[in-house]
Amino acid sequence: MARADSALGIDYDTLDDVALVALARAGRRQAFRHIMGRCNQRLFRIARGVMHDDAEAEDVVQAAYVDAFEHLATFRGDASLMTWLTRIVLNEAHGRLRARKHTVGVEQIEAAQEGGRVIPFPNAPTRSGVEDPAADTARREIRQLLERAIDALPEHYRLVFVMREVEECTVDETATCLGLRPETVKTRLHRARRLLRTSLNDTLSTTLTDAFPFLGARCDRITNSVIARIDPEGRQDLTE
């Protein structure tokens, strides 16, 4: 993903949310691509926290980006761009769940969620760059246990846990994104931790920041797919 537009001398890394949105509204495709690069990982994790499935989470994030692009004029910078996009992702995800309930029985939904597939976490290399198969296997099994335990949390606890412990958001940021009071965020996090402690040992806490990984390939796939949807003719810039 390019970080600068050499033709215009734009360094997107130095731009704040409002400036990026302004450029995207003006048709600079690279600006919107950069927005996605900044937000992809957290939005995917939030979407998966609702949908329980990698593929559905990707679909949710892509649809949310397209919706966001079509409504960039409504972003006024009162909240952060990440917060604004998080709300769109949550609306899209919950909308899909509501639509699903109209066509699928509750029992079938619960059975599908209980048997949902587990994210295949990647193998992580050692500091020397050489993978240790035994350590890799142990790490993968621990992360799968952690993922199953998080998936089993009720959604209102799960989303708070993912934002606070996996994404390492602040209490205030989590409260703003989810439309909760800070005190509610603290209470739900406490209860989520208590539920997790019934099935997990505290030593697993060191793996939390690696849970629900957002790999470069997935990031690029979502970004390229959204760009293709909002710019089907493949122009260099949307204003052309």
All structural domains of the chain with their residue ranges: 4-118+214-230
pTM: 0.68
Which of the given ranges, 86-95, 113-122, 132-141, 190-199, has the highest pLDDT on average?
86-95
**Tens-place pLDDT, residues 70-83:** 999 999 888 899 99
**Tens-place pLDDT, residues 166-186:** 899 999 999 999 999 999 999
Query: 4-118+214-230, what's its fold?
Result: Rna Polymerase Sigma Factor; Chain: A (1.10.1740)
Q: In angstroms, rounded to a whole number, what is the distance separating the alpha carbons of residues 163 and 82?
A: 12
Q: Give the confidence band of 237 by pLDDT, cuts at 50, 70, 90.
A: low
Q: What region, left, alpha or beta, does residue 124 occupy, with left being phi > 0 and alpha being psi -120 to 50 degrees?
A: beta
Q: Which phi and psi angles does 10 have, rounded to 5°?
A: -95, 125
